[in-house]
Amino acid sequence: MNQFSALCKLIFDLSINDYHLKDDVNAPVNNPYDEQSIEFFLYLKNRIDSVQWHLEDLIRDPVIQPSEAIAIKRRIDQLNQKRTDLVEWIDSYFLDKYKDAPISPDATINTESPAWAVDRLSILMLKIYHWEQEYKRNDADAKHKQTCAEKLSILYEQKKDLSIAIDRLLDDIENGKKHMKVYKQMKMYNDPSFNPVLYRNKDG
């Protein structure tokens, strides 16, 4: 079976651990992979998810200043766009990789593209990391640890199932059982040509 999910998990673990060396949403990114490689983009994808995860924590500070909250919200929006762009790049990688794969007459289309499944795995790895950190807290009581253990049990199972599903989907695409078809996200709110709030105020 395809082992792409194993590569993803290795890179996502590295990215998450690298981020938490400084635990700073403004820290520079030191991506260790070649800029043209799929590994480079997987690392960058998870780094964006890691930064966004912590921005979502920061914006929920009950004493945050409104101006700071707005700035963080806009940064989250920008990261969402970068995340979407990266997912589409990864799907383009798969489209090129399997462009010559045979397509069986009875091939079906998967409800989710490979890259969006990888996106889910990236975020799942972040969930596991942070639930593990909560479980390890020195000041946590038994009830807190029990809750964390229950959540982690489910997350570990989910990681296993999602990994199998990703690898099987790629195998099915390679063998013609699945026909890979990608519809790019057609978001409008970040584009000044299509968001009416932006284009009505561009001269204001």
Residue at 72 is within a domain: yes
- Cα 175 to Cα 52, 107, 179, distances in angstroms: 36, 10, 10
Residue at 204 is within a domain: no
Question: How far apart are alpha carbons 7 and 61 in whole angstroms?
Answer: 35
168-201 burial: b if 16+ Cβ within 10 Å, else e: ebbebbbeebbbbeeeeeeeeeeeeeeeeeeeee
Summarised one tens digit per residue, pLDDT across range 103-119 is 999 999 999 999 999 99
Summarised one tens digit per residue, pLDDT across range 146-180 is 999 999 999 999 999 999 999 999 999 999 999 99
Residue at 127 is within a domain: yes
**CB contact at 8 A, 48 and 80:** no
Residue 145 belongs to what domain range?
4-199
Residue at 18 is within a domain: yes
Residue at 46 is within a domain: yes
**Residue-level pLDDT at 82:** 95
pLDDT at 37 over 90: yes
Question: How far apart are alpha carbons 198 and 204 in whole angstroms?
Answer: 10
Residue 201 binned pLDDT confidence (cut-offs 50, 70, 90) = confident
Residue at 170 is within a domain: yes
Can you read off the two tokens belonging to residue 171? 């195998």
Q: How many structural domains is the chain composed of?
A: 1
Residue at 180 is within a domain: yes
Residue at 25 is within a domain: yes
| Predicted TM-score of the model (pTM) | 0.90
